[in-house]
Chain A
Amino acid sequence: MSSSTIKSGGVRKRPTGVGAPSGWYMAPALGIFALFALVPLVVALWLSFTTWDAISSPVFVGGANWATVLADRGTWHALGLTLEVVALSWLVQTPISLLLGVFVAGTQKYRALLAAIYFLPLILSSAAIGLAFKAILDPNFGLGASVGVSWLKQNWLGSPSLILPVVVFIIAWQFVPLHTLLYQGGVRQIPASLYEAAQIDGASRVQQFFSITLPQLRYTLITSSTLMITGSLTYFDVVFVLTGGVPSSAINILPIDMYVTGFSAAQFGTASVLAIILAVIGLAISLVLTKFSGFNRMSSQQEGA
């Protein structure tokens, strides 16, 4: 049922180019992409070879910034923390949003109500979330002090061992709804016939989940993971609001490090190096994910294993 059937049918020949749209259709999107993504990237790359305080003109210094940044233990510490946030975010968010997504994919009315409640954090701005958690977690005037539940009264934002789990929790709270939505959509795409066949074969609900739902959600899992990983790699706003832009070394993730180096310390050359590193890592992770998952082949989800 492709174009060849139309041709062999002897119907009037279609003018060339109608089946495949002209490459010029991409021009507006490409233009915007170049202006807002490629140009800044190239400028940042150029800035990474200069020293610039944003007031006087940039001075070309060659690879000096790169040498400084790569030799700085702080950079590797920040990179390690960033990867830790990425890994923990994925490990926490994926099972929760997968199970929630499968659960709310059902059609009962109460599930729709529950889904609406789950999705609430999605509509809040990051700044609002940051400020709200800052107030809730305040050890003297926050939830712990007012409710009188003693374990809630902790040095949540100030303790070097607690701040990272707290940030991972808040990221999860903010983004689980989005991924739940993705999984919910994915589950609803699975043909009911697969489950009917499995029921006839006597498969239990757990067996159905592992043999049908999970394999069928393969591409949703990859989409969700790519979003989650690149998202938490560049995660900034809530941490910035929580730490006021001067983070303790326990939460000095790369995006925060980049902001502080650039906008607080006015070393835009060094900050650009960090920005490029971040962009390269993000790109590499996305490429690896799509390459090894077979996602780029765009094969059908419904046939095969």
Chain B
Amino acid sequence: MTTVAIVGALSGCSAGGSSAGGSTATLWALTGDQTGVVEPAVTAWNKANPKEQINAQYFANDAYKTKIRTSVGAGSAPTIIYSWAGGTLDSYVKAGKVADLTSETASIKSKYNSSVFDLGVVDGKTYAVPMDPSYPVLLYFNKSVLAKAGVSAPTTWDELLAAIPKLKSAGVLPFALAGGSKWPELMWEEYLVDRVAGPDAIKAIAAGKKNAWSDPGIIKANTMLQQLVSAGAFGSDYNSVVADSNADAALLYTGKAAMLLQGAWAYSTFQTSAADFTKSSLGYSNFPSVSGGKGDPANIVGNVSGYFSVSANASAAQKKTAIAYLTQGTFNDAYTKRLLDGGQVPPIKGVSSQISGGSDSFVGKTASLIDSAPNFQMSWDQALPSAEATALLTNLDQLFTKSITPTQFSDAMNKTIGQ
């Protein structure tokens, strides 16, 4: 009796560390708002399925990116691998590191919005399924700050530009920007390129077309970006502001800044750090339209969803557990309700009827933005291969500080295509 218990404990331990054996599936996901999505689901799953246990571990975003790549390469990946789809998933598939889930997931395919589900499909085969809410990037504003400065929330680029001097003379920062973290600059770039050059410009880059970064629309968008910086839209200290401590969100809710371009995930920060502000003076809208641009003003950019893949190195028993979890443990009724209650939009069909606060609530507004968007562009740092994404952040930083011109930016980025 004791021996059995010890053997059981030992095999349980070994399965916890890697996917080499045993029936306990391992799962790696991110800390922060994702833990709030994954942790309750895994706990509920483990309670309901004592024979198909899942051992979940959580990592900080940047640390995870490094750890998962080396673990997948070394064959010691967890059974269930979190990814952003895009370039990372492509490299996993190319190296044969993730399992083909086409037949196992055929039954749940119809549940998801097809554009979201298709991002987990590579060469016609399903390798990853959605597991996270959709996080479009929104323009947040502090209504009372705007009112005091006599400015209304901008819906066009011209209104946005006109608001800058008025807000500056009212003594507030027009836009909070966490330039120290670099990736928030990418959200401005993504929206401006979408509005001016249109989604096709990005598709050409993703397809590896030669000199795709030299699209005149991209150069125009980058010129507008530098005009914005010169006009003092972000103040002079934005490169010292970091997003991982939510300093940019703090600028907005403390009234030091009037507006903030951030992902829908920032809403939970507002709720927890400034509940009164969130109720009374937080406003949000889609990015302003740009007249004469090629992109539809209803387009959105952001994180379409997060995805789970199953390691090709996992044992048969682990794979069985993982597939059971991915098909039954995620986006069931409780999962969907939990996301909606937290102000997040699940990427599945027919959620609008379940939104309790109606179309005026944050989740209702986000859901309708997603529903009416002709194009939902996945964040570029996830859509593009790692080498290009890294070069993009570095060059964008230099574009913002005006160390390079829009043409030099395009030249530098063209060199990274096909690397």
CB within 8 Å of B: which residues of A?
Answer: 53-56, 134-135, 137-141, 155-160, 243-246, 248-249, 260-261, 263-267
Contacts and interface: CB of A to CB of B under 8 A. Distances in A.
B73 A244 contact: no
A155 B70 contact: no
A55 B92 contact: yes
Given A54-B70, A160-B401, A260 B240 contact: no
Main secondary structure of the interface of A (DSSP, over half): loop
Contacts of B227: none
Contact of B180 (A53, A135, A158, A266): A158
Given A139-B240, A155-B239, A158-B180, A248 B391 contact: no
Given A55-B92, A243-B180, A141 B239 contact: no
Contacts of A135: 245
Given A243-B180, A244-B244, A265-B390, A54 B237 contact: no
28 contacts: A53-B386, A54-B73, A55-B69, A55-B95, A56-B73, A134-B242, A134-B245, A135-B245, A138-B241, A139-B240, A139-B241, A140-B241, A140-B247, A140-B251, A141-B247, A155-B237, A157-B240, A158-B180, A158-B238, A160-B403, A244-B180, A244-B181, A244-B182, A246-B182, A260-B394, A263-B69, A266-B69, A267-B387
A245 B62 contact: yes
B236 interface: yes
Interface in B164-210: 179-183
A172 to B, nearest CB: 20
Nearest to A240: B62
B212 to A, nearest CB: 19
Given A140-B247, A244-B242, A263-B66, 7 more contacts: A55-B73, A56-B91, A56-B95, A134-B242, A246-B183, A265-B387, A266-B386
B386 A264 contact: yes
Nearest to A248: B397
Contacts, number: 100
Main secondary structure of the interface of B (DSSP, over half): helix
B149 interface: no
Nearest to B396: A246
Interface in B237-266: 237-242, 244-245, 247, 250-251, 256
Contacts of B355: none
Contacts of B240: 137-139, 155-159
Nearest to A245: B62
Contacts of B398: 248-249
A55 B237 contact: no
A158 B179 contact: yes
B94 interface: yes
B247 A54 contact: no
Interface string B31-58: 0000000000000000000000000000
B97 interface: yes
Nearest to A57: B95
B393 interface: yes
B101 interface: no
B24 to A, nearest CB: 25
A246 B394 contact: yes
